[in-house]
Amino acid sequence: MAFKIISSQCTACSACEPECPNNAIREKDGTFIIKPEKCTECLGYFDEPQCVAVCPVDDTCVIDNSFPRYVVAA
């Protein structure tokens, strides 16, 4: 149901924070984190997850497999 940020990869550039349509991203301990219960993988908002699209470091915003994939409510 959510994306997560690999903190060792995160440069803390903050680019993702304002792009998130769910306000699920915030700074914590020098890097950024995604609140999984708020993340909708941008489904219903945009064609691609915004954090992934704007992140300057590849493979930093990735699917968090410990949550089931998000499904848009019918």
Partner 1 sequence: MDNQASVASIGIDQIKPLDQIMQQVAEHKGCGTSSEGGKASCGSSGGPEDMDPAIWEKVKNHPCYSEEAHHHFARMHVAVAPACNIQCNYCNRKYDCANESRPGVVSEKLTPEQAAKKVLAVASTIPQMTVLGIAGPGDPLANPEKTFKTFELIAATAPDIKLCVSTNGLALPEHVDRLSQYNIDHVTITINMVDPEIGQHIYPWIFYKNKRWKGIDAARILHEHQMRGLEMLTERGILCKVNSVMIPGINDKHLVEVNKAVKSRGAFLHNIMPLISAPEHGTVFGLNGQRGPTAQELKALQDSCEGEMNMMRHCRQCRADAVGLLGEDRSSEFTTEKIEAMEVNYDMEGRKAYQAAVEQERQATVAAKQAEMADLEAEFSDVKILIAVATKGHGRVNEHFGHAQEFQIYELSTSGSKFVGHRRVDLYCQGGYGEEDALPIVIRAINDCVAVFVAKIGGCPKADLQAAGIDPVDKYAHEFIEQSAVKYFKEYLGKIKSGEIVHAARGDADIRQGAYIAA
Q: Does 48 bind partner 1 (CB under 8 A)?
A: yes
Structural contact between residues 35 and 3, judged by C-beta atoms closer than 8 angstroms: no
Q: What is the largest CA-CA distance in the chain?
A: 38
Selected binder of partner 1 within 35, 37, 44, 46 (CB under 8 A): 46
According to the binding rule CB under 8 A, does residue 33 interact with partner 1?
Answer: no
Among the listed ranges 8-16, 33-41, 63-71, the one in contact with partner 1 (CB under 8 A) is 8-16
Taking Cα atoms as reference points, which of 60, 2, 58, 8 lies closest to residue 34?
2
Q: Is 40 in the site for partner 1 (CB under 8 A)?
A: no
Beta strands in the chain (DSSP E): 3-5, 25-28, 31-34, 61-63
Which residues contribute to the site for partner 1 (CB under 8 A)?
9, 11-15, 18-19, 46-48, 50, 52-54, 56-57
